[in-house]
Amino acid sequence: MFERIWYLAVKEFIETFRLRRRVFFIFVAPVIQLFMFGYVATMDVNNVSTAWLDYDKSTESRELARRLEASGYFTIVARPASSKEIAPLVDGGKVLLAIEVNRDFSKDIKKGRPAQLQVIVDGTDSNTALIAMNYVSQIAARYSTDLGAPIKATAVPADFRLRVWYNPDLRSRNYFLPGVIALIVMLTCLMLTSMAVVRERETGTMEQLMVTPIRPLELMLGKTMTPALVGFVDMLMVTIAGVLWFHVPIKGALPFLFLATGVYLLSVLGIGLFLSTLSKTQQQAMMASFFFFQPAILLSGFATPVESMPRIFQYITYVSPLRYFLVIVRGIFLKGVGFDVLWPQVLSLFILGMLIFLFSALRFKKRLE
Amino acid sequence: MSFLRIKAMARKEWIQIRRDHLSLAMAFALPAMLLVIYAYAITFDVDNILTVIYDQDKSSTSRDLIARFAESKYFSIVASIDSYGEIDRYLDSGRAKVAITIPSDFSKDLRTGRPAAIEIAIDGSESNTATIAQGYIAGIAEAFNRRESGVSVSPVIDLRNRVWYNPELKSRNFLIPGLIAIIMSVIISLLISLAVSREWDRGTMEQLISTPVKPVEIVIGKLVPYFVVGFADTVMSVLIATLLLRVPLRGGVLFLLLVSAIFLFGGLCFGLLISIGARNQLTASQIAMLTSFLPSFLLSGFVFTISNMPAVLQGVTYLVPARYFVSVLIGVFLKAIGFNVLFTEVIFLSLYGSAVFLLAVKKLQKRIE
């Protein structure tokens, strides 16, 4: 039995890497994706293009502008002369934020009256808008205290000390890149598996395989060997590039990452086999993989936390292998935790993977007979 | 160019589309599904942040502070704990994202006027959630302090925030219009990428060539039916977005449809170009997927802000047509702006469409000869 699986796996290996196009798809496409995600996928808000409208033109207002720019969060790209010029700037997307300093700004400060500052935010990108507003109010609050005004007299009663764990600089790259492992392994392995089976059917070699003494289960195992190997290689590639190039910390143990990837592959390959039973041509298999992949990614917590989804969608995520694997890789990379903390996820992933594999195997066997 | 031959060509293509139930279903079911999933499952609005509380003080003041967190919709308190070790366990396993520790002399310090420290640990691995959570905590802290200090000192700088276009800061209003552009790019180029490669695959291209039909007529004839499908798709997506998902559509609908038509034309011509160049359907759909999905998803400014990207990638985004269409969609949906602001986008999309059309005709001419 092992001999037959081995021969099939070798044949599969040769066939997979024979085509240059496929080698490109397996190794170069993930690298491109990784770099795109590494550089593009950031929710960090900085360099917010800002319009600065200063009616006051005093030392105080200039100091505030300096502080905004020095923070690194804002770049003043326009200095309109009147409030009428603000609307076209915001409408055209030239600026995201416009700050208007009243004529009496410095006078009010000196007299101890609240000095008004108008802030106009383009709310279309709600996330950026919210964070930019937070930054403005933080900078304004700090400036207020530094001006040594009434607030200082009454000391702040309670001091809220925030500490950020695991990712103290709050780099969103550290959050996204480990997730890219899950993404790339799934996309590549799904397509490879489903297409490998359908290819035999398309070229008519399935009949030839079936007249050999090979059994359906052996066929399945032989077919999934190469994709599994590719999955591990892709995982390793993303990890190395993430750590060395993008400086994502990896605090946990690498062997555990291998183990978890193996358990994750169980589900991925199972789904790939299942999709192969649905498709008649390689092209269909590819489409099916892609359209499975889309909602699977969305409903996994890859981009947005599962907790902010509505209940029904939260329940759907329980049957997504991605959900568990994402928690595991992020735990390994950022939190440095191991099996003792992550065992519920590993166990769920294993059970889910076994179920999916079993189900696909039954369907696969039926299709062959 | 003969109108009659184009019409005949379009009719033949239309019949072929109608027969392909799978692709047709994909063309309409997939956009609807993705819109709904995005609308309900993907939200960058942060609420229900899982929080644990370690209250060593157990006084009425500490309970008052806890109540402030519990009542705000942003935090949901999952447990009260009794040791620091439990904080580690909750944050490590991801069962909580925020841990608040109130020390035992909190209320005493407040009474005696000493600064009372509260320790808050935030899980920073989800950097976006963490950043926003920090803002909410600062807000609660400020309100609490104002109450405790008794004196309502007006701050030195009085910030007046005004949020334009999306005053409730709902991420759905921003994601859904952009998503229409992504869906259109992917579906359209996938569907049409098969249109010519199918003829190569089946050998019917030779039959077509032997008829008097000219390359430019083939291209137009192939475009028309897919254009109808794509346009119906767009209208359906806009209807779902506005009627079902309640995204405000504030600008001109006619202008929106006009620009959609221009974008569709460009996208279709691009798909056709791939289709003409590819050797078979499989290659065609592989290339179409790679060139349409990733760039339009990552480089269009749909989720990830363009101004945050490295300069090189920002330059690349100028070559991605979806970038312009996303600006138009968001502009028309949320900002109610029209041609006078968006003319550069419209002009680029038109130029792009014409250029790709000419390229497609040229390429077909060459391949036929």
What is the 3 state secondary structure string of chain B?
Answer: CCHHHHHHHHHHHHHHHHHCHHHHHHHHHHHHHHHHHHHHHCCCCCCCEEEEEEECCCCHHHHHHHHHHHHCCCEEEEEECCCHHHHHHHHHHCCCCEEEEECCCHHHHHHHCCCEEEEEEEECCCHHHHHHHHHHHHHHHHHHHHHHHCCCCCCCEEEEEEEECCCCCCHHHHHHHHHHHHHHHHHHHHHHHHHHHHHHHHCHHHHHHHCCCCHHHHHHHHHHHHHHHHHHHHHHHHHHHHHHCCCCCCCCHHHHHHHHHHHHHHHHHHHHHHHHHCCCHHHHHHHHHHHHHHHHHHCCCCCCCHHHCCHHHHHHHCCCHHHHHHHHHHHHHHHCCCHHHHHHHHHHHHHHHHHHHHHHHHHHHHHHC
Query: Which residue did the predictor score with more confidence, A255 or A127?
Result: A255
Lowest-confidence pick of A280-284, A292-296, B106-110, B348-352 = A280-284
What is the pLDDT, as a whole number, of residue A152? 46
What is the pLDDT, as a whole number, of residue A328? 92
What is the pLDDT, as a whole number, of residue A15? 81
pLDDT band with cut points at 50, 70 and 90 for residue A106? confident
Quick one: closest CA in A to B105, which residue?
Answer: A158
Local structure of residue A114 (DSSP, 8 states): P
What is the pLDDT, as a whole number, of residue B154? 53
Query: Minimal Cα–Cα distance from A205 to chain B, Å?
Result: 18
Compare CB distances from A159 to B118, B129, B153 and report the shortest one's residue: B118
DSSP A283-320: HHHHHHHHHHHHHHHHTTTSSS-GGGS-HHHHHHHTT-
Cβ pair A121:B43 closer than 8 A: no
Q: Same domain for A237 and A336? A: yes
Q: Same domain for A26 and A61? A: no
Domain boundary among A97, A122, A152: A152
The Cα A122–Cα A86 span in angstroms is 11
Pick the residue of A45, A162, A312 with the most B CBs within 10 A to test the interface with B by mutation. Answer: A162
B-chain residues near A159 (CB < 8 A): 115-118
Q: Which residues of chain B have pLDDT under 70?
A: 149-159
Quick: pLDDT tens for B202-224.
888 788 878 888 888 888 988 99
> If you average pLDDT over every residue of chain A, what do you get?
85
Number of domains in chain A: 2
Average pLDDT over residues A219-229: 87
- Give the residue extent of every domain in chain B: 3-42+170-368, 49-149
Domain boundary among A122, A152, A182: A152
Compare CB distances from A161 to B119, B285, B286 and report the shortest one's residue: B119
The Cα A225–Cα A269 span in angstroms is 9
Name the architecture of domain B49-149: 3-Layer(aba) Sandwich (3.40)
Q: Same domain for A275 and A361? A: yes
B-chain residues near A133 (CB < 8 A): 135, 161, 163
A-chain residues near B144 (CB < 8 A): 158
Q: Same domain for A345 and A225? A: yes
**Boundaries of domain holding A186:** 2-42+171-368
For residue A311, tell me if it sits in a domain. yes
Quick one: closest CA in B to A249, which residue?
Answer: B125
Residue B183 half-sphere exposure, CB side, CA atoms within 13 Å? 32
What is the pLDDT, as a whole number, of residue B155? 59
Give ∠ CA B334-B335-B337 in degrees, rounded to 5: 130
Cβ pair B118:A160 closer than 8 A: yes
What is the pLDDT, as a whole number, of residue B152? 52
Question: What residues form DSSP beta bridges with B100?
Answer: B53, B120
Quick: pLDDT tens for A76-100.
999 998 888 888 888 877 888 899 8
Domain boundary among A152, A183, A205: A152
Chain centroid, CA A141 distance in Å: 33
pLDDT band with cut points at 50, 70 and 90 for residue A325? very high
Q: Same domain for A85 and A201? A: no
Query: Minimal Cα–Cα distance from A264 to chain B, Å?
Result: 19
Query: Minimal Cα–Cα distance from B152 to chain A, Å?
Result: 10
Q: Same domain for A244 and A194? A: yes
- Report A:95-134 residues touching B (Cβ under 8 A): 109, 114-131, 133-134
Whether chain B has a CB inside 8 Å of the CB on A155: the answer is: yes
The Cα A288–Cα A282 span in angstroms is 10
Whether chain B has a CB inside 8 Å of the CB on A318: the answer is: no
Cβ pair B115:A158 closer than 8 A: yes
B-chain residues near A134 (CB < 8 A): 131-132, 134-135, 138
Cβ pair B153:A151 closer than 8 A: yes
What is the pLDDT, as a whole number, of residue A266? 92
For residue A157, tell me if it sits in a domain. no
Q: Give the residue among B79, B82, B72, B84 at the shortest CA–CA distance from B50.
A: B79
Cβ pair A287:B285 closer than 8 A: yes
Query: Minimal Cα–Cα distance from B2 to chain A, Å?
Result: 34
Quick one: closest CA in B to A340, which residue?
Answer: B93
Q: Same domain for A22 and A91? A: no
Helix (H, G, I), strand (E, B) or coil at A53: strand
Quick: pLDDT tens for A246-258.
998 898 889 999 9
Cβ pair B45:A126 closer than 8 A: yes
Q: Same domain for A127 and A258? A: no
For residue A96, tell me if it sits in a domain. yes
Cβ pair A341:B92 closer than 8 A: yes
Q: Using CB atoms within 10 Å of the CB of residue B36, give its burial: 0 to 12 exposed, 13 to 18 middle, 19+ buried.
A: middle
Stated as kind and residue range, the H or E segment containing A225 is helix A216-244
What is the pLDDT, as a whole number, of residue B156? 61
Q: Same domain for A242 and A349? A: yes
Q: Same domain for A238 and A269? A: yes
User: Residue A285 has which token pair?
Assistant: 């298999």
Question: Which CATH number does the domain housing residue A85 bear?
Answer: 3.40.1710.10
Q: Same domain for A197 and A112? A: no
Q: Same domain for A146 and A227? A: no
List the strands of the sheet with A158-165, edge to edge: A158-165, B116-123, B98-102, B49-55, B75-80
CA–CA distance from B64 to each of B57, B69, B102, B106, B148 (Å)? 12, 9, 12, 12, 11
Quick one: closest CA in A to B311, which residue?
Answer: A39
For residue A161, tell me if it sits in a domain. no
For residue A162, tell me if it sits in a domain. no
Compare CB distances from A330 to B110, B125, B130 and report the shortest one's residue: B125
User: Residue B28 has which token pair?
Assistant: 């309409």
Cβ pair B117:A90 closer than 8 A: no
Chain centroid, CA B250 distance in Å: 19
Pick the residue of A165, A287, A298 with the most B CBs within 10 A to test the interface with B by mutation. Answer: A165
Quick one: closest CA in B to A288, which residue?
Answer: B26
Compare CB distances from A171 to B113, B127, B159 and report the shortest one's residue: B127
Compare CB distances from A124 to B106, B131, B330 and report the shortest one's residue: B330
